[in-house]
Structure 1
Amino acid sequence: MSAELTVLVLVVVVALAFDFTNGFHDTANAMATSIATGALAPRAAVALSAVLNLVGAFLSVEVALTVTNSVINIQDADGAPRPELLGDGGLALLVVLLAGLVGAILWNVLTWLLGLPSSSSHALFGGLIGATVASLGWGGVKWVGDGSRLDGVIGKVVLPALMSPVIAVAVAAVGTWLVYRITQGVAGRYRENGFRWGQIGSASLVSLAHGTNDAQKTMGIITLALIASGQWTDTGSVPFWVKASCALAIAVGTYLGGWRIIRTLGKGLVEISSPQGMAAESSSAAVILTASHLGFAISTTHVATGSILGSGVGRRAEVRWGVAGRMLVAWLITLPMAGLAGALTWWIGRLAGGGALAAAVMTALLVAACWWMWRRSRQRPVNRHNVNEDWDGAASPDGGTTARARSTTEVEW
C-alpha cells in the first residue's frame, strides 16, 4: 500500500471517529430538555435522536460543500491547484486534514470529560485552521470568498457563530413568553403533561436538524481528502458511501449518549419546565434548519444553549449564570485551543518525518490521549441512571461528589 493511500485510509477512519465524538458530544443539544422534564426516558431519547440524526444526514449537502470548498485554499491566486498541497497524490493536504481532525477530537473528548457543551463544529474548524496555518502559513486558509457572496471562514463560520446564539436566545425568549402567556389559564399539571408530548416532536426536529448540519462537516472532510488523493473530482457533490458512513457514525455516537453534557444542559443552566423545553427545542430547530439550507456551518451547541438560556429569560426563571459563564469561556477558547492542538499535531508529524509515519504517530497519540481521558471519566461516572439528579445535590461532571451509577462496569459515554 502506497504512503498516500495509507494516509487517506487513516484520514477516513479518524474523520469517522470525529463524527462519532460529534454524536455523543452533541446529543444534549436535542434531548437534554426532554430528559430533564421527563418527556422522554434517557435511553429512549438517545435512541430516537440517533435514528433522526441518521435520517437528517441524507437530507442536505450544503454544509458539506462549505467544508470542502470554504476552509483551505487548495488553489492559488490563478485558480490552479497548489502543488505544495496536491502534489505527490495530495499527501501534504492529507496530513494537514489528519492533524486538524486529531486536534478536534482531543478538544471534543476533553470538553466531554469536563461536561462542557462546547462546539464540535468549532473544534473541527479550529483544528483544520491550526494545522493549515502550521503547514502553509495564514495564506493557506480561505478567510474570505470571491467578494460576490458570503464565503470562506469569515462568512460561513465566524459570522454565523456570532449571530446564531443571539438569534436563538431572542427567539426562545419570545416563544417561551408567548407560551406561558397563552396558557396562563391552564392548570399547571395539565400544561406540563400536554407540553411533554409537544417536546417529543420538537426534540425530534432538533435531532433531524442536527443531522442536516453536523454530519455534513465530516462528509466535507472526507470528500476533500478524496479530492486531494485523486479519488474524487466533483467539488459540488459527495459520494454516497461517504454520506452513509458519516450518517451511521454520528448516529452510533448519538445513541451512546453524552450523559455528562446532557446533565449540564438539562440541569445545570436552569430548571426546565415542559413549555420551556418545547419553546427552546423549537427555536433551536428553526435556527439550525435555516442555517443548513444556507450552507452555514453553525454550532448546534451554541444554538441549543442559547435557546435554553432564552427560555429561562422568557419565563423569568433562575438562570445559573456561573454555569453559563463557564460555557461561554469554553465557547471562546474552543476554536483557538483546537487550532493550537491541530498545529502541534502537525508539527509532531513533521518531526516524525512526514508521510505515512507521521500519520501513524499522530493517530497513536490520539488513541492514547482519548484512552487516558476515558479512564479519568470512570472516576466520577455520569450515565442514564444519575443524569437527572438535582444539580445542587450532586456535583457537575468536572468535580465534586457526583453519585455513582448503579453499575460502574457500564460504559459511561
Structure 2
Amino acid sequence: MVALVIALALFFDFTNGFHDTANAMATPIATGAIKPKTAVALAAVLNLVGAFLSTEVAKTISGGLIREGTDGIHITPEIIFAGLMGAILWNMFTWLKGLPSSSSHALFGGLIGAALVGIGFHSVNFETVLQKVILPAVFAPVIAGAVAYVCTRLAYALTSRHDPETGDKLTQKRGGFRTGQIFTSSLVALAHGTNDAQKTMGIITLVLIAGGTQATGSGPQFWVIAACAFAIAIGTYAGGWRIIRTMGSGLTEVKPAQGFSAESSTASAILASSHLGFALSTTQVASGSVIGSGLGRRGTTVRWGMVGRIAIGWLLTLPAAAVVGALTALLVGTGTVGVVIAAVVGTAVVIFMFLYSRKSHVGHHNAVEVEEAGTAVRFQKKKSARKKAAENKSKDAKR
C-alpha cells in the first residue's frame, strides 16, 4: 500500500508539472521571447534544480496539515491514497478545460476530505490550514497583481519616448523587456520548483511516517527529494499547452513589458512563500500577476469572462477535491477490494480524459496564437519596408 501511494504521489507530481508549466512560460511564449519547446525544456531543468533548494513547505504538509501522532490520531496510507485520488482527478479535469486551477489546493482538499471521513473532524489542523493555505490563497494573488500593475505602469512610463521639440510620441523601443523575460520566467520556474515539488515530498514523507518506516516529525529523505524533483521536471517538459493557451492569451493580450512585470511579481511572491513555509498556489499568483499587468497597460482589455471562469475554478478546487477524496476514503475503508476498485476507476477516468483531450489537440504549434500573430506583423512590416525601398529606388532611377 505504501508503494502504491508513493507511485500515485509521483504521478500527482507529474500532473502538477504539466499543469503549472504555464505559470512560468505562458507569457514569454506569448510575446515570442522564447520558443515553445525551448521554454518547457528550460522550465523543466529549473524546476528540477529548484526542488533541491528548500524543504520548508514539505515540512508544513508532512507535519502540520494533519495532526499526525497527537491525540491518538494515526493517518493511514489508505487515507493518503484517497486524498491523492481527489487531487489527481481535479487536476486532470481542470487541465482538460484549460483552467489554471491550483494543484496545491487540490492536494490539500483531497487530503482534508479523506481525513475528515476516514479519521474524523479533529484530525485536521485547521489553524495551519488557515494560516498557511487559506490566507496566502486570498492575499498572495491580490498582492502579486498589485505589484505587477505598478511594475507595468513604471515600465511603460520609464521607457516612453517623445520628440523633445514637438512633444510627439516616438516609436517605442521596448525590445529589451523581451530579453529580460528569459531571466524572469526562468526565475519563476526555479521558484515553482522550490514550492510545488515540496508538496509531493511532504506527502511521501507523510506516508512513510504512516507506514512506520520513518520517524514522526522528520523531514524528507534525499531519495524522496530526488524522485519528486525528476517527476515534476518530466511533467513540466510534457507541457500543459491547454493552460499555456489560457495564461498566454486568454486573460489579456501580453506585451514584453507586461510579461516582464508579471513574471517578476510572481517569482518574488513564490520565493518569499517558500522561505516562510507557506504552501502557496503558484497558479493563483501567476494569474493575479497577469491580470495586474493587463490592467497596468493602457489600451489593454482584460477578458473578465475568462477571469470569472478561473475564479470559479479557484473556489471549487478545494471543496471538489475534498468531495472526491472523501468518497474515495469511504470506498477504501471497505478493505482491499475497495482500494482496487478505487484504483481501477481512477485510472479509467484519467485515461478517458486524456483520450477525450485528443479530439481537440493543443500543442506547442497552436497553444498561443499571439506569437504567430506577432511574427506575421513583423513580416508584414518588413515586406512594407522592402516595397517602399523599391519604390524610392524606382523614383531615383527615373530622375
State whether TM-score is above 0.5.
yes
Structure 2 match to 1:290:
272
Question: CA offset at residue 189 of structure 1?
Answer: 5.9
Aligned to 2:369, what secondary structure does the other structure show?
coil
- CA 1:105/1:188 → structure 2, altered by over 3 Å: closer, same or farther? farther
Aligned to 1:379, what secondary structure does the other structure show?
helix
Aligned to 2:99, what secondary structure does the other structure show?
coil
Match of 2:301 among 309, 313, 318: 318
Matched, 1:269 2:251: yes
Structure 2 match to 1:56:
50
Q: Aligned partner of 1:331: which letter?
A: W
The gaps in structure 1 that reach 5 residues or longer are 1-6, 86-91, 145-151, 394-413
Match of 1:183 among 156, 159, 166: 159
Structure 2 match to 1:389:
369
Aligned to 1:153, what secondary structure does the other structure show?
helix
Match of 1:120 among 103, 107, 122: 103
Matched, 1:247 2:223: no
Matched, 1:378 2:388: no
Conserved 8 A contact 1:168-1:307: yes
Structure 1 match to 2:212:
230
Q: Which has the larger radius of gyration?
A: 2
Q: Which of the two has greater helix per residue? A: 2
Structure 2 match to 1:280:
262
Question: CA offset at residue 304 of structure 1?
Answer: 0.1
Structure 1 match to 2:146:
170
Structure 2 match to 1:334:
317
Structure 2 match to 1:13:
7
Question: CA offset at residue 232 of structure 1?
Answer: 1.0
Matched, 1:221 2:203: yes
Question: CA offset at residue 360 of structure 1?
Answer: 2.8
- Once residues 23 and 308 of structure 2 are traced to their aligned partners in structure 1, the CA distance between those partners, rounded to angstroms, is 18
Question: CA offset at residue 188 of structure 1?
Answer: 5.1
Q: Aligned partner of 1:73: which letter?
A: R
Match of 2:59 among 65, 80, 104: 65
Q: Deviations over 1:329-354 (max 9, x none)?
A: 0001100001001011111222xx32
Q: Deviations over 1:21-77 (max 9, x none)?
A: 000000000000000000000000000000000000000000000000111122334
Q: Aligned partner of 1:29: which letter?
A: N
Match of 1:361 among 341, 348, 356: 341
Structure 1 match to 2:327:
344
Conserved 8 A contact 2:331-2:339: no
Say what the alpha-carbon RMSD is for the aligned residues.
Answer: 1.5
Q: Deviations over 1:356-408 (max 9, x none)?
A: 443332222221100000111011111001112269x9xxxxxxxxxxxxxxx
TM-score (norm 1): 0.86
The gaps in structure 2 that reach 5 residues or longer are 163-169, 374-399
- Once residues 155 and 279 of structure 1 are traced to their aligned partners in structure 2, the CA distance between those partners, rounded to angstroms, is 28
Alignment of 1:203-222 (within 5 A): 203-222=185-204
Q: Aligned partner of 1:21: which letter?
A: T
Structure 1 match to 2:22:
28
Match of 1:259 among 223, 237, 241: 241
Moved more, 196-205 or 180-189: 180-189
- Once residues 347 and 294 of structure 2 are traced to their aligned partners in structure 1, the CA distance between those partners, rounded to angstroms, is 39
Question: CA offset at residue 237 of structure 1?
Answer: 1.8
Conserved 8 A contact 1:10-1:359: no
Aligned to 2:126, what secondary structure does the other structure show?
coil
- Once residues 211 and 330 of structure 2 are traced to their aligned partners in structure 1, the CA distance between those partners, rounded to angstroms, is 22
- Same amino acid, percent of matched pairs: 56
Structure 2 match to 1:153:
129
Q: Aligned partner of 1:106: which letter?
A: L
Structure 2 match to 1:399:
none
Aligned to 2:76, what secondary structure does the other structure show?
helix
Q: Deviations over 1:298-328 (max 9, x none)?
A: 1000000000000011113210000000000
Structure 1 match to 2:385:
none
- CA 1:188/1:160 → structure 2, altered by over 3 Å: closer, same or farther? farther
- Once residues 251 and 235 of structure 1 are traced to their aligned partners in structure 2, the CA distance between those partners, rounded to angstroms, is 27
Structure 2 match to 1:396:
none
TM-score (norm 2): 0.89
